[in-house]
Amino acid sequence: MMLRFGKLVLEKLRKPEILAFLYFTAMTILMTYPLVLRMRNSVIGQIGDNVYFIWLIHWFQDVILKLYISPFFDPFLNYPQGWNLASTDTSPIMVALALPGSLLFGHTWGFNFVMLVSFILSGFAMFLWIKHLTGDGVAAIIAGTIFAFLPYRMYHFLAGHLSLVGTMWFPFFFWGLYDLLRQEKFSLKPVLMAVISVFLIALTSSYYVYMTVLLSVVFIMGWVIFGGWRRYKSRALWQSLSLFALFSALLVGAAQYPYLSMGANDGLASRSIEYVSSFSASPTDFFFPAYSQVHWGEFIRTKLNISGTVEGTLYISMVSFILAVVGWFKRRNQPYRDLMNISALVAVVAFILALGIEPHWMGRKIISIPQLLRPIFGGSEMPQVYLPSYYLFKYFPFFSKMRAILRFGLFTLFFTSLLAGFGASLLRKQLKPSHRRWVGLLLLAFVFIDLYPGPFAQFSRVDGRPVDHWLAEQPNIGAVAQFPFAQEVDQDQVYNTLVHEKPYIGGFFNANYPEQYLRISPVMNGFPSRASVDLLEQLGVAYVVVDSSQYSDYALVDSEILSLGLRRLNVVAGQYVYGFP
């Protein structure tokens, strides 16, 4: 009996899908090493947005198990007014994936776990689609590896952007969308695949679902242009599209309702054109390797003078680009050449939109015309040139709410990875069967060399400050305030509320500052002053924490605070704590 069971298990493990899943699991551990050894109490990189998402996981956990209130409103932040979390990223589905691990091993472990899972599932999803299209498991592994470990994903992982690493739904969405457009006889399966996937995208990131909707229109237009128009009389087509549009609108609307309602009430700030322009991509962002890549990152930083940013890390991968070009030129007579044409179209449109408001080059706005072109323009000063995203910003609903429009570049990377899978498959088919495996392994090795970031050395312990542990021991008689007042909106201060478990008058507001914060800021920025101390008392603040390292003469500041009637309660690691008599 045991022998038969063992043979059955071995047979299951030999299935391509199981082997692929195990491969992406092993690659994730390798590409993020040594995070797997430090998941319980540390995050990779510096403290930043990561601790906000760790706090968010804990907040959802408390809401579900203890508080039984809406997870989109926290009455204990921006106290006493409360904070609408729809003003920033909440990513409910990514948080939900983190909750089991959070319950078992702590919220930091849960956060790290879902970050790693995003690599595994993104690669595995791309593998499944390419395997389904081409039947070539090796080419599918290559495409999945490229997509899973794109520098774009890797650097948002380093920055702790839980919502933005949630890219695993895209292969399933475009797979379902493509199949529902092509089906001759109506089937609900591709419709459900597309609808459920776009719903999951909407539960992952408002940025992603907005961009997905826009580029889905381009995808469908591409399908029409590249031959789909011939099926305009197909009943199955219109039935599929109608159901897809109806249920997608309902589910995406439900997922985005907190944000839509906030936007309708002017709770989401529109960005200035100048600010958004600074988040325009450069063409070089797509073709220069990531600036901290283990093999040639130093050359990028020193010789080309490109420091790079997380948002500007849009490197396509040279291997991916070459394979995509190979696939493009060999697409004739291929059964999915229409998908290859559509992919190229969407990749180009996404590239153009990612270029943003005004032309940039090597991460900087172009302000002077190159010497070679000056005779044509009659001078050296760059004329005002607006790119297509400018017009969407000006006239398209909700477009002006977005900050980092260069994130459209993710779709260029996605469809290039898809084309690379086609290219790898077509290239291998031209070889002798005995050579195909070795060429596949060689291509995979090139992908690894191109994308491997090297072992990570920087980790940050997630534990709160000593003063927060002291505050946790104090009675819950009021809220906490942090000074200088600019620190009220730091992500780590939001996380620190998990430690001291007291209301806090700040929050991680990003650009969407709540009414209370805007109202009290002018007064609080003048702390210490009589007006600020009176306002603190009105807000129900019991503990005033002041970071002495941020003041040049703290002895003078301390005496001013005491003269205003506050009493010093404690000094912990440079943090002075005051209270009311």
Q: Taking 90 as the threshold, does the pLDDT of residue 268 lie above it? A: no
Q: What is the pLDDT of residue 304?
A: 56
Higher pLDDT, 212 or 387: 212
Q: Within this chain, do residues 486 and 574 fall inside the same structural domain, yes or no? A: yes
Q: Taking 80 as the threshold, does the pLDDT of residue 362 lie above it? A: no
Tokens, residue 99: 């909750």
Q: How far is CA 581 from CA 198, 346, 526, 567, in A?
A: 55, 64, 22, 7
Helix (H) or strand (E) holding 547: strand 541-547
For 189, counting Cβ atoms within 10 Å of its Cβ (0-12 exposed, 13-18 middle, 19+ buried), the class is exposed
Q: What is the pLDDT of residue 380?
A: 66
- pLDDT tens sequence across 495-543: 999 999 999 999 998 778 899 999 999 999 999 999 999 999 999 999 9
Q: Within this chain, do residues 494 and 549 fall inside the same structural domain, yes or no? A: yes
- pLDDT tens sequence across 202-225: 999 999 999 999 999 999 999 999
Q: What is the pLDDT of residue 412?
A: 98
Q: What is the pLDDT of residue 255?
A: 93
Mean of pLDDT values over 348-375: 81
- Structure confidence at residue 321 as a pLDDT band (50, 70, 90): very high
Q: Within this chain, do residues 285 and 426 fall inside the same structural domain, yes or no? A: yes
- Structure confidence at residue 276 as a pLDDT band (50, 70, 90): confident
Q: Which of 7-16, 71-80, 147-156, 311-320 has the lowest mean pLDDT?
A: 7-16
CB 456 within 8 A of CB 33: yes
- pLDDT tens sequence across 15-35: 889 999 999 999 999 999 999
Q: Taking 80 as the threshold, does the pLDDT of residue 14 lie above it? A: no
Report the C-alpha gap between 198 and 172 in whole angstroms. Answer: 9
Report the C-alpha gap between 357 and 392 in whole angstroms. Answer: 9
Q: What is the pLDDT of residue 432?
A: 83
Mean of pLDDT values over 308-321: 85
Residue 564 forms part of a structural domain: yes
> Last residue of some domain: 405, 430, 455?
430
Q: Within this chain, do residues 425 and 474 fall inside the same structural domain, yes or no? A: no
- Structure confidence at residue 363 as a pLDDT band (50, 70, 90): confident
Report the C-alpha gap between 151 and 289 in whole angstroms. Answer: 8
Residue 562 forms part of a structural domain: yes
For 349, counting Cβ atoms within 10 Å of its Cβ (0-12 exposed, 13-18 middle, 19+ buried), the class is buried
Q: Taking 70 as the threshold, does the pLDDT of residue 373 lie above it? A: no
Mean of pLDDT values over 270-277: 82
Residue 300 forms part of a structural domain: yes
Residue 172 forms part of a structural domain: no
Q: Taking 70 as the threshold, does the pLDDT of residue 196 lie above it? A: yes
Q: Within this chain, do residues 423 and 286 fall inside the same structural domain, yes or no? A: yes
Q: Taking 60 as the threshold, does the pLDDT of residue 375 lie above it? A: yes
Q: Taking 80 as the threshold, does the pLDDT of residue 446 lie above it? A: yes
Q: Taking 70 as the threshold, does the pLDDT of residue 293 lie above it? A: no
Tokens, residue 523: 């007064």
Higher pLDDT, 266 or 216: 216
What's the mean pLDDT when you consider all of the chain?
90
Q: What is the pLDDT of residue 62?
A: 94
Q: What is the pLDDT of residue 59?
A: 96
Q: Within this chain, do residues 574 and 470 fall inside the same structural domain, yes or no? A: yes
Q: Taking 60 as the threshold, does the pLDDT of residue 303 lie above it? A: no
Task: Indicate the number of domains in the chain.
Answer: 2
Q: What is the pLDDT of residue 195?
A: 98
Residue 450 forms part of a structural domain: no
> Last residue of some domain: 407, 430, 453?
430
- Structure confidence at residue 330 as a pLDDT band (50, 70, 90): confident
For 554, counting Cβ atoms within 10 Å of its Cβ (0-12 exposed, 13-18 middle, 19+ buried), the class is middle
Q: What is the pLDDT of residue 93?
A: 97
Could you list the residue range(s) of the whole structural domain that residue 362 is in?
271-430
Q: Are strands 567-572 and 575-579 parallel, antiparallel or unpaired?
A: antiparallel
